[in-house]
Amino acid sequence: MLVLKNAHHTYDARTTVKLPELHTDKGDHLLITGLSGSGKSTLLHVLAGVLRPTRGTLTINGTDLYKMSESQRDRFRGRNIGVIYQQLHLIDTLSVEVNIRIAQYMAGIPEDLNRIRDLCSELGIGEKMRSYPGQLSQGQKQRVSIARAVVNEPALLLADEPTSSLDDLRSEDVVGLLKKMAEKTGATLVISTHDSRVKRHFDNVVDLELPVGEVA
């Protein structure tokens, strides 16, 4: 389903992040762990198609993502990849409902308000659809960003540190929700974390080493 080969990303002369070889099948759940600075967000951004690796290839369902033009890749992402970013990237001036609708709009998928309503009630934010992000708790914002990521039923669901700002109970909750959402549609799930509480929920764990600097 997802294959990442021989990849690294160079930010500047002193910072090259080596990326692991990944090979996942449809429906796999994969956890990426590593200390702060080990490259979790870099990896997730490469997998999301928003950061072109300096070297290496990424294929998703047979499509080589970085061979496409940027607009083709945006369209592919909208339809096939759901992303929950470490900084949630909700738009503060838009309601919860519109924040989620945008994902449908961007992917060129017809708006489906019923789907959004069902999803929000399933995620426990059904009463908050007309609220603005600034009026929500951190956990509720996280759920809005989950709703936005899964609304188009992506084949690949990516979450960068989805539990870092949450307490133990909420953290279990969010991991459970992500797994449930992924299982419902048979999506491949990749979560990154430095949160050891999350590890016991995954059989498949890839641990990143700290960046080594120069790559030969």
Ligand X SMILES: Nc1ncnc2c1ncn2[C@@H]1O[C@H](COP(=O)(O)OP(=O)(O)OP(=O)(O)O)[C@@H](O)[C@H]1O
Instruction: Please report, as ranges, the residues that interact with Mg ion according to CB under 5 A.
Output: 40-41, 86
Q: Smallest distance from the beta carbon of 16 to Mg ion, in angstroms?
A: 17
3 state DSSP class of 196: helix
**What is the total count of residues that contact ligand X (CB under 6 A)?**
15
Strand ranges (DSSP E) for 55-180?
55-60, 63-64, 81-84, 156-160
Using alpha carbons, list the distances in angstroms from residue 101 to 96, 106, 118, 140, 170.
Answer: 9, 9, 13, 17, 25
Q: Smallest distance from the beta carbon of 51 to ligand X, in angstroms?
A: 9
Nearer to ligand X, 37 or 56 (CB): 37
Binders of ligand X among residues 17 to 46 (CB under 6 A) are 17, 34, 36-42
Residue 211 binds to ligand X (criterion: CB under 6 A): yes
Q: Smallest distance from the beta carbon of 69 to ligand X, in angstroms?
A: 23
User: What does the block give as tokens for 39?
Assistant: 């490259």
Q: Smallest distance from the beta carbon of 76 to ligand X, in angstroms?
A: 23
**Using CB under 6 A as the criterion, what x/- string covers residues 50-89 for binding ligand X?**
------------------------------------x---
Q: Smallest distance from the beta carbon of 18 to Mg ion, in angstroms?
A: 16
Decide if 9 contacts 57 (C-beta within 8 A). no
Residue indicated by tokens 């307490």 = 167
Options 1, 3, 15, 59; binder of ligand X; rule CB under 6 A: 15
Residue 11 binds to ligand X (criterion: CB under 6 A): yes
Q: Which residue's Cβ has the minimum distance to Mg ion? A: 41
Residue indicated by tokens 């609220």 = 131
Residue 214 binds to ligand X (criterion: CB under 6 A): no
Half-sphere exposure of 188 (CA within 13 A, CB side): 20
Q: Smallest distance from the beta carbon of 146 to Mg ion, in angstroms?
A: 18
Residues 45 and 183: their CA atoms lie apart, in Å, by 23
Nearer to Mg ion, 97 or 195 (CB): 195
Strand ranges (DSSP E) for the chain?
2-12, 15-18, 22-24, 29-33, 55-60, 63-64, 81-84, 156-160, 188-193, 204-207
Positions that interact with ligand X (CB under 6 A): 11-12, 15, 17, 34, 36-42, 86, 194, 211
